[in-house]
């Protein structure tokens, strides 16, 4: 019998939400979730459920049972002790709730498999799509949905964008959400699905594949429950949009930790990696790479080739970047065409050696960068433009950052910036990324991200 396909849209775009376990005590999970909906500006109908509560919590009308609510509930968030979840879920079923997020822990991850099986049977019997248990749940900045029990003052808010993040681990998920807000690109959807008792990574991946607001999918996986079904969706999804994956459980210790964390069957890392590579997934080795790859896919189109032009105001950093580019499997330094070389000789000072990397010298200003980038952008021998900007030099200031933003809007090739430094540099990094220019803090991270972008483009061409 084929497995039921779950409709996750009412979970992500609910018109009505009930928080079961909403509480007056500020430290309780149910209070934080309810507060986040209020603070986030959720415009749908919001209800609180607490058997022992008075008439309202945080100004939200409170009911002793979800069965007392006359409205049809699209999403119920359950944040109560594990032993009470089955009864609450049973009531959700009788109230014809469409979707449920169970943030409560205390199920298969601690050996309570019978209790977990029980709630799955209840959800299946009533046709409820259930995420969890033992999870953070869902976030959608557009619909202002936020089931995360993380105080908003502890988590920087990501802007609205096209990157959707799927995490089996709530801890990794919350860390990445915090980091995303500092990287300039925006969030479309967030799923933390914990034990994956019912709705799992396959269901979420299929939903995001079809989601028009999602341009890039980023995943942290500890295990894959339905390998055959995952392969089937993997065959389809990367032909539509890029997928970046970080798979935990490379070692025996990691596999053991994954099982105790989310009751996940991590399986052979090599087998997972083979599937990812076969179907065009971009594999990250750590959280930093996950962010680097997400950013490049969020900002840049796939290049037509792997020939890179490095333009720098620091010779040593240019050398390091040349090493990083040449150390990849797919990228190389391009050789400027004769026409572009002649153009550069006319426009550049005599001290600039016309070769790649193109060292503009330490006094390079906005105009020199602009002349160089525009010339190189028209070179048929160059596919990718990689400017290095050291804001510690005299000519590098806000005018240069503004010029790079302006140029980026006219260049039809991938262009990313490398810029390393502390406060002054970081200020300009934020400025450039807010203007659509991706900035990397090291040659290795930039080269690695560009290679991932290029290799995904090659995968798409092979599948055409």
4: CATH: 3.40.50.720
Q: For residues 306 and 439, state if they share a domain.
A: yes
Do residues 7 and 53 share a domain? yes
What residues have CB less than 8 Å from 51, skipping those under 6 apart? 64, 65
Q: Is residue 248 part of a domain?
A: yes
Strand order of the β-sheet with 60-63 is 56-57, 60-63, 45-49, 16-20, 75-78, 99-102, 129-131
Residue 265: strand, helix, or coil: coil
| Residue 234 falls inside a structural domain | yes
274 with 162, same domain?
yes
- Asked if residue 401 belongs to a domain, the reply is yes
Q: Which domain holds residue 440?
A: 302-463
Asked if 325 and 275 sit in the same domain, the reply is no
Judging by DSSP bridges, how do beta strands 187-192 and 137-140 pair with one another? antiparallel
Same domain, 268 and 360: no
Does 150 reside within a domain? no
pLDDT for the residue numbered 261: 40
- Residues 110 and 214 both lie in one domain: no
Would you say residue 147 lies in a domain?
no
* 363 and 443 assigned to the same domain: yes
- C-alpha torsion sign, points 85, 204, 220, 166: negative
Those residues whose C-beta lies under 8 Å from the C-beta of residue 403, and which sit 6 or more positions away, are 366, 367, 369, 370
- Which of 85, 100, 135 marks a domain boundary? 135
Cβ atoms of residues 447 and 321 within 8 Å: yes
In a domain, 143, yes or no: no
Same domain, 266 and 322: no
pLDDT at residue number 155:
75
* Residues 350 and 235 placed together within one structural domain of the fold: no
- DSSP-derived secondary structure for 240-259: TS-EEEEE---SHHHHHHHH
- Do 37 and 183 share a structural domain? no
Give the pairing of strands 332-333 and 16-20: unpaired
**Which CATH number belongs to the domain containing residue 266 in this structure?**
3.40.50.261
Determine the Cα–Cα distance for residues 313 and 359; give it in Å rounded to an integer: 6
Task: Please list the alpha-helical segments (H only) found in 181-226.
Answer: 201-210
Q: Report the chain's terminal Cα–Cα distance, integer Å.
A: 33
Question: Last residue of some domain: 91, 106, 135?
Answer: 135
Closest CA to 177 of 211, 238, 218, 216: 218
Using the 3D structure, point to which of 273, 299, 325 is the last residue of a domain.
299
Query: Cα-flanking dihedrals φ and ψ of residue 79, to 5°?
Result: -135, 70
pLDDT tens digits, one per residue of 91-149: 999 999 999 999 999 999 999 999 999 999 999 999 999 999 999 999 999 999 999 98
Domain count, the chain: 3
Residues 188 and 208 in one domain: yes
Residues 236, 366: one domain? no
Has residue 309 been placed in a domain? yes
- Low-confidence residues in the chain, pLDDT < 70: 1-2, 249-267
Check the CA dihedral 162-167-172-174 and report its sign: positive
In a domain, 425, yes or no: yes
pTM: predicted TM-score of the whole model, two decimal places: 0.92
């Amino acid at each position: 019998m084929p497995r039921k396909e779950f409709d996750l849209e009412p979970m992500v775009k609910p018109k009505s939400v009930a928080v079961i376990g909403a509480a007056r005590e500020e430290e309780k999970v149910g209070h934080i979730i309810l507060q986040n909906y209020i603070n986030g500006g959720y415009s749908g109908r919001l209800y609180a459920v607490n058997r022992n509560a008075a008439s309202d919590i945080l100004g939200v009308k409170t009911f002793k049972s979800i069965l007392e609510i006359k409205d049809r509930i699209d999403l119920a968030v359950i944040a109560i002790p594990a032993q009470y979840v089955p009864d609450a879920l049973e009531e959700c079923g009788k109230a014809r709730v469409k979707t449920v997020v169970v943030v409560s822990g205390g199920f298969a991850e601690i050996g309570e498999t019978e209790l977990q099986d029980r709630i799955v049977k209840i959800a299946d019997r009533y046709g409820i799509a259930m995420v969890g248990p033992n999870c953070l749940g869902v976030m959608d900045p557009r619909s202002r949905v936020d089931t995360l029990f993380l105080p908003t003052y502890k988590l920087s808010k990501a802007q609205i964008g096209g990157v959707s993040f799927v995490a089996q681990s709530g801890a990794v998920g919350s860390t990445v959400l915090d980091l995303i807000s500092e990287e300039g690109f925006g969030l479309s959807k967030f799923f933390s699905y914990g034990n994956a008792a019912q709705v799992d990574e396959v269901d979420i991946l299929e939903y995001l594949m079809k989601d028009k607001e999602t341009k890039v999918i980023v995943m942290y996986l500890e295990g894959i429950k339905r390998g055959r079904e995952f392969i089937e969706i993997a065959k389809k999804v990367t032909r539509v949009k890029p997928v970046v994956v970080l798979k935990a459980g490379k070692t025996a210790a990691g596999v053991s930790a994954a099982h105790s964390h989310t009751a996940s069957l991590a399986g052979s890392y090599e087998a997972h990696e083979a599937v990812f590579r076969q179907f065009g997934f971009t594999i990250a080795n750590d959280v930093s790479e996950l962010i680097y790859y997400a950013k490049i896919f969020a900002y840049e189109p796939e290049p037509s080739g792997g020939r890179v032009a490095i333009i720098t105001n620091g010779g040593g950093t240019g050398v390091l970047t040349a090493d990083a580019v040449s150390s990849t499997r797919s990228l190389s330094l391009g050789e400027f065409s004769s026409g572009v070389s002649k153009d550069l000789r006319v426009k550049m000072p005599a001290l600039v050696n016309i070769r790649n990397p193109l060292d503009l010298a330490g006094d390079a200003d906005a105009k020199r960068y602009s002349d160089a980038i525009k010339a190189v952008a028209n070179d048929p021998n160059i596919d990718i433009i990689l400017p290095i900007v050291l804001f510690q030099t005299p000519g590098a200031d806000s005018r240069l950052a503004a010029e790079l933003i302006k140029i980026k809007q006219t260049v039809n090739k991938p262009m990313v910036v490398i810029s390393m430094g502390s406060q002054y540099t970081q200020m300009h990094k934020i400025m450039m990324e807010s203007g659509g220019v991706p900035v990397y803090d090291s040659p290795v991270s930039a080269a690695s991200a560009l290679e991932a972008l290029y290799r995904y483009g090659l995968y798409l061409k092979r599948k055409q």
